[in-house]
Chain A
Amino acid sequence: MEIVRPHSHRNLFSSNDAASAPTIPLYRSAPPLEVRLEDFESFAIDRLRVLKGISDGLSRGKKPDEMEKLVSELWKVNMRHQHASEVLNKDIISHFVLRLVYCRTEDLRKWFLSMECALFRYRFRFLTAEAQRAIMDEFDITCKAVNIMEFESIKEKLGQVARSMGQPLPTGDAIFYKVPFEDVPELVAGRRVLLSQGYAYVAMNQVVSLVATLFRSQLSKTLILTNRKWTSSIREQEKHRLTPIVEALCSSYLGPDFSQPKEYAEISLKDIDQLAKTSFPLCMRHQFDKLKEDHHLKHGGRMQLGLFLKGVGLNLDDALAFWRAEFSKKVGLEKFEKEYAYTIRHNYGKEGKRTDYTPYSCYKIISSTPGAGDHHGCPYRHFSEENLRAALSRMGVNSRAMEDVMNKVRNRHYQLACTLTFEALHGVPCDAGINHPNQYFNDSQKILQPKKDSST
């Protein structure tokens, strides 16, 4: 692995009192440690349990305080070591092993990056002020504190920002850091900072966001370097020893991949109306109905529904026929062929970059941002209560189950709401929870198909 910033490579992990004063290593360079092969694998699996747990928590829409508890619990359970002095080493080794595992494709890198950053973020909050400051020093943040003169000149606006978030006004001794807005995209996106002339004024209690971004961009760069090293030498050198372990590690834990429909090889166009009624989750059912009604869906909807249908097993020719049948009623056959057919072929990897696009997961759908005229997104999150109730009762959810669903929605557990809907409609518990619209479909078919077979 490459050393990114050798000068700042302090021996964070060699100190003996690591257990008494916990800190987070920044993983800037691979540790000069000898690792036993079984530790290599078992440490990695332990860390993977943590990351997987975070991923599940996030996709279930857990709130920040719940996440904080979850992460702390996951870390305690999985990342301990019988020798206190080894805890930090385990942290570092497991990270670098997983870095090898997850550097190998864009999708793996993306997942690893977001989970490691989430982990870093929650661990950072648990640190003492002193340990936090040490990390801020590592990232050269402390020197960017706003001086008192400047603070006075923008105090009023900083107060406005605080009030807009329902927070108390900053006091005279409050510390703000002035950083390029590019370093705090998350705070910018949430309109949670004051911006002026390209700089963002970050309050002390927002520093975690800044540190996490810097951590993320460092990790993102090094993942690319790791990948290069992996393809150019490690994979071959370690062909008989590490490579099999590394390659097995990610596939066993990332959950199913819905890019290729496997269980139900293909569905036919004539069954699709029926399937929509029985086995589509609400998000897809709603778009499907809207498409039939308006003979049109905007781009976001075409992507979300189109890729779902692809995952369900609709082949390209049928997909074209399906969209053509609806769109041509509104825009005409000619316009459909000219303006819309391309993107459908594109989704199937037949145009442009020729990427075979994967159906959207719940996580992606929940975090999408539908606008005027859009029907995509997660109904549990994006519908008003009345509209959601109406849609659920159209689906056949009875009033008792409805209240349970609405309860989850109010607590922002959108996927649990969807799981309850599934259970109400199928009369069967769904212990794994719904994480993906295609999983909803597959699980539903698993329940419905045998019945159908036995009745015929």
Chain B
Amino acid sequence: MNPQQESEFDSGALKPYYGKLFPFADIFKWMSYGHDGKHPGCDQSYFGRREFSFTLKGDIYLRFQSYNNAAELENSIKDKCPLKIDIGPVYTVDPAKRHAYAQGGNNVFTPVERELIFDIDMTDYDDVRYCCEGADVCLDCWPLMTIAIKVIDTSLRDEFGFKHILWVYSGRRGVHCWVCDGKARRLTNEQRSAIAEYYRVYKGNENSQKKVSLTGGALHPFLATSYTNVLKDYFEKKLLTNQNLLATEERYEKILSMIPDESIASELRGRWQDNRRSSSAKEDINVVRWEQCKQLLQSGKHKGLRRCVEEIVFSFTYPRLDMEVSKHMNHLLKAPFCVHPKTGRVCVPIDPNRCDEFDPTTVPTLFQLLEEINNEGLRADVNGEWSGTSLGNSVRLFRSSFLEPLQKACKEDIERSYNLKLQQSKNSIGW
């Protein structure tokens, strides 16, 4: 976003935001995973073993904060007014008391549960977007995030069988994903790494030529489905023209360098160098050139080059995850509904089914929300004050598409494992 908006942010404005708008109760319900009820199977210590971490003004980091209930969490946040709230794992013991347990020598203070998380950041795409760079995003490059959501969300559901998935706008230049099924929260680091690796196609670092290398006689079904259902269309219908991927010499050379066959590359180069304006002016030059490129590569004359079309598309579209975030249980991730300190935008949930419609430039900002409360007058609502503001839809989405189904599943889980335990203890008495 622009520098003007950046300077708009002032931590003083956070007080009314936490005071009136931040959905504490929802965050608490979420993080309790059903253990906030009266059921005898509930683990009353569960929420209290979760690490929260705050960034305060003046770059003060407070790690290992923990709370026993919703009121403690709410009071602490209202009191400290953090610029950023991070959520960590659930540990074996209350993280605030970790030092007491560390004495024993045997490390009893270890993470036991953590959502499977993904962090996708636009800065990792700087070599394939020309509209902005670094921390900036615009509607021309945002489709890269839409693609990531679609590809990863579909796979998490259909392939890994997860159901409770929350996507959140990171407030500036990317998206976060929280997979919250019980099964996901209990994955080991090795299993997390395996999932992250499963999604990794981009293998080059700065020093290797080819960034994506697809080998073998066919694409793995996951890659094949992603390609036909998402990547291909977004590349051809959006990114090719949005980003002008083939419009200038410098840019098309980048794509030509990915073609292993020198004769094809030079044939294309020849055509693109002289017939700069000869094709019909109506048609987009990127589209025309891409069609020529595809046609030559897929002509069949050169076996082994068909994969090259896919490699180019993957290079320019396929999701790039920050692997380290997903691989370990103890990575922190910013809580939803935080306000990004640079943009002032709220980290709102994104509906994966309608992620095409998501527009990062219209996400409500802190100041916009505060103005809305002031203008509305304090219209009391049972739901809290957010419901009348632009944040209303976001909180409603969070509840209906994520929190409510999650809570239902958690309660069923607790019931089931409680009954199982009862059954087992009965059996052992009988014996």
Contact = CB atoms under 8 A, between A and B. Distances in A.
B194 A185 contact: yes
Interface in A188-224: 188-191, 194-199
A405 to B, nearest CB: 16
Given A371-B124, A372-B202, A372-B206, A166 B197 contact: no
Interface string B184-218: 00011011011101101011111111110001111
Contact of B323 (A160, A161, A338, A369): A369
- Looking at chain B's contact residues, is the secondary structure mostly helix, strand, loop, or mixed? loop
Contacts of A188: 191, 194-195, 197-198
A244 to B, nearest CB: 21
Interface in A157-189: 157, 160-161, 163-166, 181-182, 185-186, 188-189
Interface string B10-46: 0000000000000000000000000000000000000
Contacts of B323: 369, 371
Contacts of B219: 160, 164
B304 interface: no
Contacts of B193: 185, 189
Interface string B117-138: 0000000101100000000000
Contacts of A157: 221
Interface residues of B, number: 47
A106 to B, nearest CB: 8
Contacts of A231: 106
A231 B107 CA distance: 13
B220 A164 contact: yes
A194 B221 contact: yes
B260 interface: no
Given A185-B194, A191-B222, A195-B160, A374 B205 contact: yes
Given A375-B205, A379-B207, A186 B194 contact: yes
Interface residues of A, number: 44
B207 A387 contact: yes
Contact of B63 (A189, A338, A352, A387): A352
A300 B325 CA distance: 12
A253 interface: no
A445 to B, nearest CB: 27
A379 B208 CA distance: 10
Given A197-B158, A382-B208, A163 B63 contact: no
Interface in B94-151: 106-107, 124, 126-127
A373 interface: yes
B224 interface: yes
A188 B210 CA distance: 23
Given A161-B221, A182-B191, A190-B197, A384 B202 contact: no
A262 interface: no
Nearest to A157: B221
A197 B161 contact: yes
Nearest to A166: B216
17 contacts: A163-B216, A182-B187, A182-B188, A185-B191, A185-B193, A185-B194, A189-B198, A195-B222, A196-B158, A197-B158, A198-B183, A342-B61, A372-B202, A373-B124, A373-B126, A384-B209, A386-B209
Given A196-B161, A197-B159, A372-B320, 17 more contacts: A160-B218, A160-B219, A164-B218, A182-B187, A185-B191, A185-B193, A188-B194, A188-B197, A190-B197, A198-B161, A231-B106, A299-B324, A352-B63, A372-B126, A372-B127, A375-B206, A384-B210
